[in-house]
Copies of this chain bind each other. A is one copy, B any other.
């Protein structure tokens, strides 16, 4: 019903991102997901009270990304809001719209003092569309 809470960022490719075959290295995809998650969380109010830790990622690599593409666009969209965690869906698109990769991250709300998961507050839940 409601629009999903999401963020999309454009990430220019760097030479250093490429592997020996001239493709975007598989680990660098995860740097890009991190950028998209950061953009998503920064778009929320009271982000500074809102530490999260990544507890799971799954990613399907769908098509190769070469340096000459110049950039990719990466999306992080809240897919599910749980009691202590959120699930975020990701897509990475090439300039022609082809899906380079798609996947999912699970983030847990973190209590830095107790060093453990904590329930999301009502305010957080609202901001996340949950």
Chain A residues packing against B (C-beta within 8 Å) = 11-12, 14-16, 18-22, 25-31, 34-35, 38, 53-61, 67
Q: Can you tell how many copies of this chain the complex includes?
A: 4
A35 cross-chain contacts in B, Cβ below 8 A: 14-15
Q: List 15 A-B contacts (CB under 8 A).
A: A15-B19, A15-B35, A15-B38, A16-B27, A16-B31, A18-B20, A20-B67, A27-B27, A27-B34, A29-B30, A53-B61, A54-B61, A55-B60, A56-B60, A56-B61
Contact A30 B20 (CB under 8 A): no
- How far, in angstroms, from A55 to B26 measured CA to CA in the complex? 9
A11 cross-chain contacts in B, Cβ below 8 A: 12, 14
